[in-house]
Chain A
Amino acid sequence: MGRETRAMQDDDGFNPAVLWLLDGESLWKANCAACHPIEKMKGVAARYPALHRKRLINLEQRINLCRTEQQKAPAFAYESRELLSLTAHVGRQSRGHPISVEISDGNRSFFEAGKALFHRRQGQLNLACVQCHDERWGKSLAGTTIPQAHPTGYPLYRLEWQGVGSLQRRLRNCMIGVRAEPYAYGSDEFVELELYLMWRARGMKLETPAVRP
């Protein structure tokens, strides 16, 4: 991404995602703050996806678990304003923290599944993630530079969407790009892939909410 896009991201007051952050703050105060002081969320986003009762879940799913189990309220829909705002607000608390997803016996099978997905050819174009993002990063694709694809700033404001979206939305984009049927939001495949991608980005600083072209 260019210098100006970077500047938009670093602009604390006027990163376009701030509109979602403010919504997230209001939602947090109204729904979550009673049990969770926001300061306790520092570092949390940097270690997701995580295990919960032996299941691998991402941050969105963790928030929805609280909604349904603790608050006895309906889960927020994926990509809804509420869920994006809350995830952005929680993620923001870990801005600057190194991504610290660790692989252990508990999540190894999910990790291997995610790794396999990253290496699997798919779609009409029959391309695997690894071919562009490991083997050809830095090269050009249709006028754009291929990134290494480290999800260091999700949920983020994507200029293409003109709004904030989750990592899964971006991954669906990639799959549509190679003309594959994208996995459903919240599917096991996506969470496993998220785990692999976050592990691949380990040590990099979280930039949530980032701005990307």
Chain B
Amino acid sequence: MARVVVSVPPRARRGDVVEIRTLAGHPMETGFRRTQLGELVPRDIITRFSCSYNGVEVFRAELHPAVAANPLISFTTVATESGTLEFRWSGDNGFVAVQKAEMVVV
């Protein structure tokens, strides 16, 4: 699986808005580049990113070739209850990466 990094605060107070940052190792080949011989380098990007919080999707993003390589996506979510945040990246050529993080909410 591709290398991914997520930062979720391990602990939060109920109702806090927590910032989540994610980074995924991926070249995000745009499909617009050409080789020196003029051939188009085929597109190969992450197209979708989602975050579920105890099974409920709380954030989703659609990515296009204009997202830089090794995409960073930061967003926020309300700390509602202790549990698992699951992050999923998917894209061209069957690309899938999944990462989980636990957060304790007091």
Contacts and interface: CB of A to CB of B under 8 A. Distances in A.
A14 B5 contact: yes
Contacts of A14: 5, 7, 21, 23, 72
A159 to B, nearest CB: 8
B64 interface: no
Contacts of A23: 3
A162 to B, nearest CB: 4
B72 A18 contact: no
B71 to A, nearest CB: 10
Contacts of B27: 162-163
| Main SS class of interface, B | loop
A16 interface: yes
Chain B CB within 10 A, most for which of A18, A19, A23, A162: A19
A163 B69 CA distance: 8
Contacts of B3: 19, 22-23
Interface string A1-34: 0000000000001101011001100000000000
Contact of A162 (B21, B23, B70, B72): B70
Interface residues of B, number: 12
B15 interface: no
B68 interface: yes
B42 interface: no
A138 B1 CA distance: 43
B69 A13 contact: no
B7 A16 contact: no
Most chain A CB inside 10 Å of its own CB: which residue of B5, B21, B28, B68: B5
B7 A19 contact: no
20 contacts: A13-B7, A13-B21, A14-B7, A14-B72, A16-B23, A16-B72, A18-B5, A18-B23, A19-B23, A19-B25, A19-B70, A22-B3, A22-B5, A162-B27, A162-B28, A162-B68, A162-B69, A162-B70, A163-B27, A163-B70
Interface of B: 3, 5, 7, 21, 23, 25, 27-28, 68-70, 72
Given A16-B23, A16-B72, A163-B69, 18 more contacts: A13-B5, A13-B7, A13-B21, A14-B7, A14-B21, A14-B23, A16-B70, A18-B5, A18-B23, A19-B3, A19-B5, A19-B25, A22-B5, A23-B3, A162-B27, A162-B69, A162-B70, A163-B27
Interface of A: 13-14, 16, 18-19, 22-23, 162-163
